[in-house]
Chains A and B, each alone.
Chain A
Amino acid sequence: MYSEKVMDHFMNPRNQGEIPDADGVGEVGNPSCGDIMRIFIKVKDNIITDVKFQTFGCGAAIASSSMATELIKGKTLEEAWEMSNKAVVEALEGLPPVKVHCSVLAEDGIHQAINDYRIKQGLSPWEEKAGHAHGHDDESGE
C-alpha cells in the first residue's frame, strides 16, 4: 500500500530525535486521533540549520515527518513556511488517500515550529492559509 520511498523513510527515518536547545518547537495532533508530531528547529540568520522530529503515529506519519524535515533543512524560514503538504506527498512518491492527512500534519507541525520561533523572537506569527483537509473513511474487513 505504501511506495518504496515511504517505506524507506519509515524504516530509516531521517532527523529523528530531539533538539534540547531548539529555537522553535511545534506540536500537532493528539493521542486520541492516533498521531502526534513534534518538530524542533534550530535557526541561524533566518536559515533552518537543524531540524528534528518525534512522531507517534502510523507509517505514513513517520515517513511524512522524516521527508518534511529533509525538505526544510537548510532552507530559509520563508521557504520552509511555503513548503506545502503536497510537496511532501510528491517527494514521498504518493500517499494513499486516507493517509494524506499525515502530510498535512507535517506541514502544520513545521508552521507551528516556525511561529514558535517567531514569537520567541518577539515577532508576530505568520498566518495559516485557509483550507487544508483532514480526512478518513471506512473500516477494513475480515
Chain B
Amino acid sequence: MASEKTVYMDHSATTATDPEVVQAMLPWYSQSYGNPSSIYRLAGISRVAIDEARAKVATAIGAKPDEIFFTSGGTESDNWALIGTAFSHKGKGNHIITTAIEHHAILHTCEYLKKQGFDITYLPVDEYGQVRMEDLKAAITDRTILVSVMFANNEIGTIEPVSEIGKLCREQGILFHTDAVQAIGNVPINVATMNIDLLSLSGHKFYGPKGTGALYIRKGIRIDSFLHGGAQEKRKRAGTENVPGIVGLGAAIEKAVRDQDLKTSRIRDLRNRLLERILTEIPNCRLNGHKTERLPGNINICFEFIEGESLLLLLDHAGIAASTGSACSSGSLEPSHVLMAIGVPIEIAHGSLRLTLGIENTEDDINYVSEEIKKAVEKLRSISPLYADYLKKRS
C-alpha cells in the first residue's frame, strides 16, 4: 500500500494556488465576466481589475504599470521576449547570447531563431552554475542584440549575477532579458536598479494560478507583437484577457513579495536542516549548485550508484513528491543539461534528486523526508551492481 501521507517538495515544478488567491479570482468568472474591451459597466470593472493587477505586478518588480504585459505564462513570455526583440532588432545585428543552463523555453526558442538566421552563443557556467562575466564580455560582438540569462536556475537553484550582467549590457547598449520564473517571491528583484530590459514571470510558481504570466518590457524597448488580433495589451499581445487569471496573478505576486523575507528565511532554514541531514546521514552523495547563491527552497543532490527515477518512485510510494534530472524520468537519453553544464559526471547525474521546499513544508516533513530518502537510497543501492562493485573495491 502506498502511503496516505503527502509531502510536496516540488515547488519549482508548480505550487498549490493560495486559497486567498482563488477567492480573489472567483467573482471574475460568473459574476463580473464582462469582456474588458467592451464599453458597458460590466466590462469597465474588468478593465479596472486588470489595471489593479498590472500595478501589483509592476510594484513587485520595481517597474511601471505600463511596462507589464500579461501572457499565458513563463514559456510564452520567454518566447515573446526572444523572438519579439530578435526580429525587431535584426537591422542592428543577428547575435544573441544566452547560457547552457536555461530552461527549454529559452533553449528551444534559440534553436528556432537559429533556423531563422540568428547566431546563438551559449555561455558555459562554472561548477556552481554561475555565468562568468569574462565569458560574457568575450562573447559580445558588434552584432550582439540581446543577452538572455535566467535569474535563478530551476534545477540547481543557482542565482546568476543579474545586476552585473544588467550593468554591462546597459553600458554596451545591448538588450538584457532575464527569465525570472523561479526567482519571483524568492529573491528581491528590481528591474530599474538591476538594469533589466525584459523579464519573464509565471503565476503558478508563486502560489498563483496556472496559465498566467507576464513579460516586463522596459518603456521604449522595440519589440514585435507576439499574438496578432485585437487591441489588447497595447496591441502587443492580442486575445481577450484572462481576467480571473490576471486578478489571481496580481493577488499572488502581491502576497509573495510582501511576505518574502519572512517566508524565505523560514524555508531556507528548513532547507538547510534537510540538506544537512541528507549530507551527513547518507554516504556518497554530493550537492549540486551554489552553497549560498541559491534559491532558498532548493536542494539538488546526486546519490552515487543509483538512478533518479527509481528513487522518485520509492519516494512517491512514501507520499513524497520530488523531481530528478535523470534521463530515465524524461525518456530522453541524456541526463539534465544543467548537471552536464556544471560538470557532473554523466553516470552520477543519473542519480540526481531535486527537492524544492515551499510555504506549507514543516519541521515534521524534514524528518520524514530525510528518513524516507535514506531508506530508499539504501534499498536501491542494495540492488545496484555499481554499489556491489564499490563495496568489493573498498573491502
Q: Does B273 contact A (CB under 8 A)?
A: no
A35-B307, A55-B383, A58-B307 known; A136+B327 contact, CB < 8 A: yes
| Interface size grouping (class) on chain B | 20 to 34
Is B327 a contact partner of A141 (Cβ separation < 8 A)?
A: no
Q: Which of A18, A56, A138 contacts B330 (CB 8 A)?
A: A138
Task: Tell me whether B265 is interfacial, beta carbon within 8 Å.
Answer: no
Of A26-34, A77-85, A113-121, the segment with at least 4 beta carbons within 8 Å of chain B is A26-34
Q: With A56-B306, A58-B310, A140-B329 known to touch, is A34 a contact of B335 (CB < 8 Å)?
A: yes
A-B contact count (CB 8 A): 88
- Residue on B with the closest CB to A140? B330
Shortest C-beta distance, B289 to chain A (Å), equals 17
Q: Which of A32-89 contact B (CB under 8 A)?
A: 32-38, 54-62
B12 contacts partner chain A, Cβ-Cβ < 8 Å: yes
Give 1 or 0 for each of B305-339: 1 = CB within 8 Å of chain A CB: 11101100110010000010011111111010000
| Interface presence of B260 (CB below 8 A) | no
Assembly CA distance A137 to B388 (angstroms)? 31
Asked, given contacts A10-B310, A58-B329, A138-B330, whether A32 binds B317 with beta carbons under 8 Å apart, the answer is no
Assess A56 versus B329: contact at CB under 8 Å? Given A31-B350, A34-B307. Answer: no
Contacts of B331 in A (CB 8 A): 98, 136-140
Q: In residues 3-25 of chain A, which contact B (Cβ within 8 Å)? A: 7, 10-11, 13, 16, 18
Which among A11, A18, A136 is the interface contact of B388 at CB below 8 angstroms?
A: A18
- Smallest beta-carbon distance A113→chain B, Å: 13
> Interface residues of A, CB < 8 Å — how many?
33
Secondary structure class of chain A's binding surface, majority of residues: mixed
**Interface flag for A90 (CB, 8 Å):** no
Nearest B residue (CB) for A1: B313
Q: Is B386 an interface residue (CB 8 A)?
A: yes
B104 sits at the interface (CB 8 A)? yes
The answer to whether A31 touches B386 (Cβ under 8 A) is: yes
Known A59-B310, A142-B14; further 15 A-B contacts with Cβ < 8 A? A11-B317, A27-B385, A31-B347, A31-B350, A35-B328, A54-B388, A55-B385, A56-B307, A56-B387, A58-B310, A62-B383, A136-B327, A136-B331, A138-B330, A141-B104
Name 27 interchain pairs, CB-CB below 8 A, sorted by A. A2-B313, A13-B383, A16-B383, A18-B388, A27-B385, A32-B347, A34-B326, A34-B335, A36-B385, A54-B385, A54-B388, A56-B306, A57-B310, A58-B309, A58-B310, A58-B326, A58-B329, A59-B309, A60-B328, A61-B310, A62-B310, A137-B332, A139-B330, A139-B332, A140-B329, A142-B13, A142-B154
